[in-house]
Amino acid sequence: MLQPDLSIVPQDCGVCPIRHRAVCARCDADELQILEEIKYYRSYEAGQTVIWAGDRMDFVGSVVSGIATLTQTMEDGRTQMVGLLLPSDFVGRPGRDGAAYNVMATSDLVMCCFRKKPFEKLMETTPHIAQRLLQMTLDELDAAREWMLVLGRKTAREKIASLMVIILRRDATLNLAQPRDRISFDLPLTREAMADYLGLTLETVSRQISALKRDKVIHLEGKRHVMVPDVGRLLEEAGDDSDGGMLS
């Protein structure tokens, strides 16, 4: 129960749902074949720890399905989420032995793993992989920097709205197109996880979600499902000036 389930039937890269978004996105058929040889699948249950910060890490890999988080913890227990990993996101750093952060499965999670040594060697001979990894890392750096603005300068209400906008955006790019207005989505995190993401307490998160509901910015169905009657309004609440983009 506490061990990852290793009895997953290996899947063909050709039918992989993240084939064209993950680190292997640019690989051609030959390159995929080499990857097939060093890859294996692992699945984790919701709540399980994938790896602890500081532990030796003998693999890197991609999230195939489910959601994982990267967190950092101080001695006294204060924790800050530093990454939210959705399908196609990459985990691990080639050229480093230990994990820098805690990686936790927030939902049931399936990962496509590559043994680290062979992967590193492959990276040297296969520019397509390194190129794609650079692109993905630059995107993550941008996301981290946007998050620094949220953490450093936004109010609690703006932080909650910003989180919802981020989830909305990632849903929009990942899934199919959504109807223009009346967009809805599921919060993939508990109140506590949201608090760790936003640098707040879970009580403040709860209060601000209630406030947004009271002010008709959002509408809740159950604890997790959010309906947004007016996306523009939510963007205003988030303090994002760029109201255009993919949601117009």
Partner DNA sequence: CGGATTTTTGAACGTACTCAACGACCGTGG
Partner DNA sequence: CCACGGTCGTTGAGTACGTTCAAAAATCCG
Based on the shown chain and the rule CB under 7 A, indicate whether residue 216 belongs to the binding site for DNA.
no
Selected binder of a copy of itself within 23, 133, 183, 205 (CB under 8 A) = 133
Give the C-alpha distances (Å, rounded to integers) separating 132 from 38, 129, 153, 235.
Answer: 18, 5, 32, 31
Express the helix, strand and coil content of the chain in percent, nearest 5 each: 40, 25, 35
Q: Return the bridge partners of 83, or none.
A: 70
Based on the shown chain and the rule CB under 7 A, indicate whether residue 192 belongs to the binding site for DNA.
yes
Asked whether 99 and 52 are in contact (CB, 8 A), the reply is yes
Q: Which stretch binds a copy of itself (CB under 8 A): 11-19, 41-49, 56-64, 124-132?
A: 124-132
Q: What span, in angstroms and rounded, lies between the C-alpha atoms of 131 and 198?
A: 31
The residue length of the chain stands at 248
**CB 8, min distance to a copy of itself, A:** 29
Q: What span, in angstroms and rounded, lies between the C-alpha atoms of 82 and 197?
A: 7
165 Rama class: left (phi>0) / alpha (psi -120 to 50) / beta: alpha
Asked whether 150 and 212 are in contact (CB, 8 A), the reply is no
**CB 3, min distance to a copy of itself, A:** 28
Based on the shown chain and the rule CB under 8 A, indicate whether residue 144 belongs to the binding site for a copy of itself.
yes
Based on the shown chain and the rule CB under 8 A, indicate whether residue 141 belongs to the binding site for a copy of itself.
yes
Residue 157 binds which entry of DNA, a copy of itself, none, CB below 5-8 Å type-dependent: DNA
**CB 123, min distance to a copy of itself, A:** 8
CB-based contacts of 143-148 (< 8 A; 24+ apart in sequence): 144/82, 144/83
Q: What span, in angstroms and rounded, lies between the C-alpha atoms of 237 and 213?
A: 12
Selected binder of DNA within 220, 233, 239, 240 (CB under 7 A) = 220
Instruction: Looking at residues 71 to 110 of the shown chain, list those that interact with a copy of itself (rule: CB under 8 A).
Output: 72, 74-75, 78-80, 82-83, 93, 95, 100-101
Selected binder of DNA within 65, 178, 184, 201 (CB under 7 A) = 201
246 exposure class (CB count in 10 Å sphere: 0-12, 13-18, 19+): exposed
Selected binder of DNA within 43, 88, 102, 204 (CB under 7 A) = 204
x/- site string to DNA, residues 12 to 51, per CB under 7 A? -----------------------------------x----
Instruction: Looking at residues 148 to 167 of the shown chain, list those that interact with a copy of itself (rule: CB under 8 A).
Output: 148-149, 151-153
Selected binder of DNA within 53, 156, 166, 172 (CB under 7 A) = 156
Selected binder of a copy of itself within 60, 104, 165, 198 (CB under 8 A) = 198
**Under the rule (CB under 7 A), what is the footprint of DNA?**
47, 155-157, 190-192, 199-207, 209-210, 220, 222-224
